[in-house]
Chains A and B, each alone.
Chain A
Amino acid sequence: MKTSSGKIVDLATALSVVKDGMTVGIGGWIFHGQPMALIRGLIARGVRDLTLVPAPGSVAPDMLIGAGCVKETACVFISFEHLGLAPNFRRAAQSGTVKVLEMDGPGIAGGLRAGACDLPYGLIPDLGTDLPKVNPNGYRKARVQEGSRPLLEVPAIKPDVLLLHGQQADEEGNVQYFGAGYFDLLMAQAAKHVICSVDRIVPTSTVRQSARLTKIPSAFVDAIVVTPFGAHPGCSPGLYDQDEAHLKTYVAASRDQKSFDSYLDTFVRNGGGEPAYRDKIGAQALAALTSGGAAP
Chain B
Amino acid sequence: MPVVPQSFAMGEMLAVLLARDMADGEKAIVGTNSDIQVAACNLARARHAPHLWWVSGPGGMTNPTEGIIRPAADAENIAVAQAVMDLPLMIDFIDWQVHFFDFAILGALQTDRFGNINTVCVGDHAKPRLRGPGTVGISALCGLSKRFYIMMTRHDRGAFVPKVDFVCGAGHMTGGSSRTDAGLPEGGPRLVVTPLGVFDFEPASKAMRVRSLHEGVTIDEVRDNTGFDLLVPDKIERTLAPDAEELFVLRRAVDTTGVLPAKFPWPKAN
State the CA gap A29–B183 with chains docked (Å): 31
Interface segment out of the listed A15-23, A100-108, A245-253 = A100-108
Within the complex, what minimum Cβ distance (angstroms) separates A156 from chain B?
A: 15
Docked-complex contact A79 and B33, CB < 8 angstroms: yes
Residue with the greatest number of chain B CB neighbours at <10 A, chosen from A85, A128, A185 = A128
Docked-complex contact B144 and A125, CB < 8 angstroms: yes
State the CA gap A189–B227 with chains docked (Å): 47
Given contacts A94-B127, A104-B168, contact A131 B134 (CB under 8 A): no
Q: Does B52 contact A (CB under 8 A)?
A: no
Q: Does B173 contact A (CB under 8 A)?
A: yes
Report how many residues on chain B are interfacial, defined by Cβ distance under 8 Å: 60
Given contacts A129-B167, A134-B125, A179-B78, contact A104 B138 (CB under 8 A): yes
Within the complex, what minimum Cβ distance (angstroms) separates B164 from chain A?
A: 9
Interface string of A38-69 (1 = CB under 8 A from B): 00000000000000000010000000000000
Docked-complex contact B257 and A56, CB < 8 angstroms: no
Contacts of B68 in A (CB 8 A): 296
Q: Does B133 contact A (CB under 8 A)?
A: yes
Contacts of A105 in B (CB 8 A): 91, 94-95, 135-140
State the CA gap A150–B184 with chains docked (Å): 8
Contacts of B71 in A (CB 8 A): 81
Docked-complex contact B69 and A296, CB < 8 angstroms: yes
Report how many residues on chain A are interfacial, defined by Cβ distance under 8 Å: 51
Within the complex, what minimum Cβ distance (angstroms) separates A96 from chain B?
A: 6
Within the complex, what minimum Cβ distance (angstroms) separates A296 from chain B?
A: 6
State the CA gap A136–B182 with chains docked (Å): 18
Interface segment out of the listed A70-78, A199-207, A256-264, A282-290 = A70-78
Docked-complex contact B76 and A295, CB < 8 angstroms: yes
Interface segment out of the listed B20-28, B81-89, B202-210 = B81-89
Contacts of B69 in A (CB 8 A): 296
Q: Does A192 contact B (CB under 8 A)?
A: no
Residue with the greatest number of chain B CB neighbours at <10 A, chosen from A90, A93, A134, A185 = A93
Contacts of B33 in A (CB 8 A): 30, 79, 81-82
Interface string of A218-256 (1 = CB under 8 A from B): 000000000000000000011000000000000000000
Nearest residue in B to A84 (C-beta to C-beta)?
B133
Docked-complex contact B75 and A128, CB < 8 angstroms: no
Q: Does A127 contact B (CB under 8 A)?
A: yes
Docked-complex contact B75 and A238, CB < 8 angstroms: yes
Nearest residue in B to A183 (C-beta to C-beta)?
B87
Interface string of B137-181 (1 = CB under 8 A from A): 111101110000000000000000000001111100100000100
State the CA gap A94–B61 with chains docked (Å): 36
Within the complex, what minimum Cβ distance (angstroms) separates A286 from chain B?
A: 18
State the CA gap A33–B74 with chains docked (Å): 11
State the CA gap A104–B127 with chains docked (Å): 19
State the CA gap A182–B194 with chains docked (Å): 31
Docked-complex contact B74 and A179, CB < 8 angstroms: yes
The chain A residues found within 8 Å of chain B, CB to CB, are 29-30, 32, 56, 75-79, 81-82, 85-86, 89-90, 93-94, 96, 100, 102-106, 109-110, 113, 124-131, 134, 149-150, 178-183, 185-186, 215, 237-238, 295-296
The chain B residues found within 8 Å of chain A, CB to CB, are 32-33, 56, 58-61, 68-71, 73-76, 78, 84, 86-88, 91, 94-96, 98, 120-121, 125-140, 142-144, 166-170, 173, 179, 182-185, 257, 259, 263
6 contacts between A and B (CB under 8 A): A56-B58, A77-B133, A109-B91, A149-B98, A182-B59, A186-B87
**What are the 8 closest A-B residue pairs judged by CB atoms, nearest first?**
A179-B75, A127-B143, A237-B75, A128-B170, A79-B133, A77-B136, A104-B135, A93-B131
